[in-house]
Amino acid sequence: MHAKFKVGDRVRWNSEAGRVSGRIVKVHTENVDYKGYTHHATAEEPQYEIKSDKTDHIAMHKGAALHKIARLARRATTAPQRHRFSS
């Protein structure tokens, strides 16, 4: 069984153009027609609708093709430090 993902998860997958990353916007648990093709989905093997980070393109993939991207810890925002050179 493959990992289950949920709406909002950041994932990556391989495409013809290389690695792509995006955010899951919808989980389909029933067959869905998309771009002229029926994507088969069940509760056990859902199809994930993903919006690309770079192009806003929408892709549809099963969980086996996806890898979850770990969330990065947010850094505290600080002003850039200025370097002082002695003269």
Beta bridge partners of 50: 24, 59
pLDDT at 8 over 90: yes
Residue 15 pLDDT = 86
Measure CA of the first residue to CA of the last residue in the chain; give whole Å. Answer: 66
pLDDT (tens digit, 9 = 90+) per residue, 40-52?
999 999 999 999 9
3-state class (DSSP) for residue 58: strand
Residue 4 pLDDT = 87
pLDDT (tens digit, 9 = 90+) per residue, 18-33?
899 999 999 999 999 9
- CA–CA–CA angle 37, 39, 45 (5° rounding): 170
DSSP character for 55?
A: T
| CA 2 distance to own-chain centroid | 16
For residue 86, give both structure tokens: 């002695």
pTM (predicted TM-score): 0.75
